[in-house]
Amino acid sequence: MNLHDSPKLKKIIDQCCQGQSQAQYELFKHTYPYAMGICARFSSGPEEAKEILNDGFLKVFTQIKRYSPDLSFAGWLRKILINTAIDHYRKNKKYNDQHVEIVQEVDRPDAEKTLSQLHAEDILKLVQCLPPAYRMVFTLYVVEAFSHKEIAEKLGISIGTSKSNLSKARLKLQQALATITNSTHQTYGKG
């Protein structure tokens, strides 16, 4: 089963609305890769992603009667998971406000080459290493296409803070790419 609205998906959703645990398991099982991909982008690693995922599915199952078949189920699920990730961030905000000092580095032309050689999993790991405030803004802005105004409203920060966090996230990612580029040159030699 895929996440495109199909008769099988509709049947499983109808059964979930009736509280059937087997249908809930089927929905979870079939949407897990898609849902985990969303949660991973907002987390620092697999454990936090699973926590967001579990909280998100609790919301899905308690709110499934509100789902309208006129809407895409994948879009509805995505919205719930993003909001759950934002809630998780807010809940842990006092622990997230520890910022790492950023040192400006000179742009490296070989960083672009390194980026093109990375796999999606490698890029996700780099994003997951960002401080939580930077990761949240980066993911909402770059991946989910939220505006700075929307991010500011959702996170309870100013638009300027959203822009600053995005800039700092990009800088940290550039630094990480430079480190990878340097280690690649040291491992394999120059040239």
Which domains are seen in the chain, by residue range? 7-91 (1.10.1740.10), 99-188 (1.10.10.10)
Averaged pLDDT of the chain = 85
* For range 175-191, the mean pLDDT: 64
String of DSSP letters for 160-172: HHHHHHHHHHHHH
Q: What is the pLDDT of residues 109-161, one digit of tens each?
A: 454 555 556 677 888 889 999 999 999 999 999 999 999 999 999 999 999 99
pLDDT for 184: 53
Q: What integer pLDDT is reported at residue 105 of this predicted model?
A: 41
Is a pLDDT exceeding 80 seen at residue 108?
no
What gap in Å lies between CA 109 and CA 116, rounded to an integer?
12
Q: How far is CA 40 from CA 50, 52, 136, 173, in A?
A: 8, 9, 11, 17
Give phi and psi for 44, each to the nearest 5: -90, -5
Residue 60 to residue 49: CA distance in whole angstroms: 16
Of residues 147, 182, 191, 185, the one with CA closest to residue 166: 147
21-76 pLDDT, tens digit each: 999 999 999 999 999 999 999 999 999 999 999 999 999 999 999 999 888 999 99
